[in-house]
Amino acid sequence: MEKCKNWIYSKGRDLEITMFNAIFLNDKEDLLTSLTLYLSEDGGFGNQLYYNKVGSTVFETYYALKILIDCNFDLSDDDDILENAFDYLFKNNFQSTPYFAGIVGAGIKLLDKNKTNYKKCLDLVNEVRKNYSSKDLDTFKSYILYASATLDNETIEKIKKDLYNITTNLDINPLELINSPLFVNNELEPIINEKLDNLLESRLESGAWLYEDIDDIETIKKSGTYTINNMLILKNFKRL
């Protein structure tokens, strides 16, 4: 853990440092502030948060919300930032994107229950449930975020079944789709354990994981997030 922390602190962006602090030190004070570095005037997130370009996108705003969910972020005094982000998402018709379910789930988890955007997300829950799908991986990952945020048991059970089928039929590493045991059934458990062993073995001496075997600025940036995600998986599966 200490090696990983030192690598993140020396190589990571402020975002990865605050993610590490939130997940492993329960210090969430600066998490939302670090995300505001990627905030646009229209309320959305972007500006090289994920894509290497300027301006906000629906995906990167969804990605920012996923970071908050993964870090178990609680509503704060800065809730206007989240309200503005959802204003942006509704204006840009996020309901027609693969990220629909995850955004709705994040809204229910993160927004002030007395605000309009929370109520608008709540009104969309039945549509989310009705349109559940695992045929497209982006949509499936969005439903995983929705279920993680809301703990919707019906959706969790559907994901458990489909995750096993996707893993075995498409030869996909399930740890690329989930970061907690919430969605693991008995059939999938042996596969998960093998993948966790492989993940531990692939960690570098520095305590990090390189996104690619290239030591440039862009790869280091992605490797920071990749390392945090892998550490989160190990933590949630009690392998640290």
Q: CB-hemisphere CA count at 13 Å for 191?
A: 19
Q: d(Cα 132, Cα 102) in Å, to the nearest integer?
A: 11
Residue with tokens 């995750």: 163
CA dihedral sign, ordered 124, 47, 76, 15: positive
Q: How far apart are the first and last CA of the chain?
A: 8
Amino acid at 145: L
* pLDDT per residue of the chain (240 residues) written in tens, 0 to 9: 899 999 999 988 899 999 999 999 999 989 988 999 999 999 999 998 988 788 999 999 999 999 999 999 977 556 789 999 999 999 999 999 999 999 999 999 999 999 999 999 999 999 999 999 999 999 999 999 999 999 999 999 999 999 999 999 999 999 999 999 999 999 999 999 999 999 999 999 989 998 765 555 566 667 888 999 999 999 999 998
- Strand, coil or helix: what is 60? helix
